[in-house]
Amino acid sequence: MTKQEIANDIARILEGFYEEVPIPLDHTDNYSLLVAVLLSAQCTDVRVNTVTPHLFALADNPYDMAKQNVEDIRQIIRPCGLSPRKSKAIKELSNILINQHNGEVPANYEDLEALPGVGHKTASVVMSQGFGEPAFPVDTHIHRLAQRWKLSTGKNVEKTEKDLKRLFPRETWNKLHLQIIFFGREYCPARGHNPYECPICSKYGRKTLFDEFDKAKKKREQK
C-alpha cells in the first residue's frame, strides 16, 4: 500500500472509534482556552482541568489577570509544573492582550506566537479549537504515533506536521488531530504498548515496534 492509502485507512479507523471528539481542555472563551493550552505543556489535560477552575475563579479575563501577583498565579498552577515560567507568561500575555489587542486573543499565528509562553503548537490549538481555522497541532504524542504508523519520518514535530498536512484533507485536520490524541491514550500509549493488539499498529506499525516488543517479552520470560 502507498503511504496515502495507509493514511486514508487510518482516518477511516479513527472515525470508527471516535465519530465525536470533545475538546479535552475545559474553557469558556478564547482567553481561557489560550491559558489552558499554555498550562498543558508537559502536563496532562486532566490535571489542567482540575487547576483552571481555581485559576479562573481568581481571574478569568486578561484585565483581571493582569492585576494579579505572579506569585498568587504560581501557587494555583503549581500542580501543572513549570509554574514559575507559566505564571509569568500568563501575566505578561494578559498585559500584551490589553495593550496591543484590545483585550482580545488575536486570530492569527504571528500575533499568537509573539505572546509569552505561546509556541506554534499552542497557537495551532487556539486557531483550531478557538477560531475554527483548519490546523494540525502536533505535539510529541502525535509525532510518536505518526512515526509508529509510518506516516512520517520527520525528526521533529515541524516536519511531522508538514507530512500529516500533505496526507490528510485540510477540512479534516481539526477533528483528526483530536482523534489521534484520544486513540493514542486509549490504544497506543508510549509505554506498555502491545502492537499486535493495537487496531492500527497491528496493520501498519513499523517492524521495529514488533521487534522491540518481542525482545522485551522474551526477556521477561527468561527471568
Q: What is the CATH number of the domain that holds 210?
A: 1.10.1670.10
Distance separating alpha carbons of residues 177 and 135, to the nearest angstrom: 9
Distance separating alpha carbons of residues 127 and 92, to the nearest angstrom: 20
> Nearest to residue 160, comparing CAs of 5, 1, 14, 7?
7
Distance separating alpha carbons of residues 204 and 183, to the nearest angstrom: 15
- Annotated catalytic residue within 139, 150, 162, 165: 139
134: amino acid identity, one letter: P
Distance separating alpha carbons of residues 134 and 125, to the nearest angstrom: 10
CB 3 within 8 A of CB 144: no
Query: According to the model, what pLDDT value does residue 33 have?
Result: 98
Which of the listed residues 77, 106, 130 is the one where a domain comes to its end?
A: 130
145: amino acid identity, one letter: L
Could you read off the pLDDT of 199-220 as tens digits, one per residue?
Answer: 999 999 999 999 999 998 888 8
Count of domains in the chain?
2
Domain that holds residue 165: 3-19+141-222
Which of the listed residues 130, 161, 177 is the one where a domain comes to its end?
A: 130
- Annotated catalytic residue within 86, 91, 121, 175: 121
Q: Where are the alpha helices (H) located in 120-172, listed in sequence order?
A: 120-125, 140-148, 157-167
Residue 173 predicted with pLDDT over 80:
yes
What is this structure's pTM? 0.89
Q: Is residue 162 annotated as part of the catalytic site, yes or no?
A: no
Q: Is 162 within the bounds of a domain?
A: yes
Q: Is residue 139 annotated as part of the catalytic site, yes or no?
A: yes
Same domain, 57 and 102: yes
Report which DSSP code applies to 125: H
